[in-house]
């Protein structure tokens, strides 16, 4: 891992379909994505996403399936 990627910080974001991603801290979020209040190094953000995003189906598909 490079020194630059070790110190770069990200924020966990989620879209209206409840899909998660990370975004560099300080950059404007793309339309439709919302800050989830968790930030840190890339590995920590990805670990947080693994813990909270347990059903990878988009929200509308889950609603159609009734779960």
What pLDDT, on the 0 to 100 scale, is given for residue 66? Answer: 84
pLDDT tens for residues 20-60?
999 999 999 999 999 999 999 999 999 999 999 999 999 99
In the block, which residue shows the tokens 């379909």? Answer: 17
Domains of the chain (ranges, CATH numbers):
3-56 (3.90.820.10)
pLDDT tens for residues 15-31?
999 999 999 999 999 99
pTM of structure = 0.83
Q: How confident is the model at residue 7 (pLDDT cuts 50, 70, 90)?
A: confident
**Residue 2 confidence (pLDDT) above 60:** no
Q: Quote the tokens at residue 13.
A: 């974001």
Q: Quote the tokens at residue 39.
A: 């930030």
Phi–psi pair at 2, nearest 5 degrees: -75, 160
């Amino acid at each position: 891992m490079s020194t630059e990627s070790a110190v770069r910080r990200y924020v966990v974001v989620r879209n209206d379909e409840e899909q998660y991603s990370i975004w560099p801290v300080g950059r404007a979020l793309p339309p439709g994505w919302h800050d989830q209040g968790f930030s840190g190094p890339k590995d920590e953000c990805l670990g947080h996403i693994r813990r909270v995003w347990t059903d990878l189906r988009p929200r509308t598909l889950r609603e159609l399936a009734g779960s």
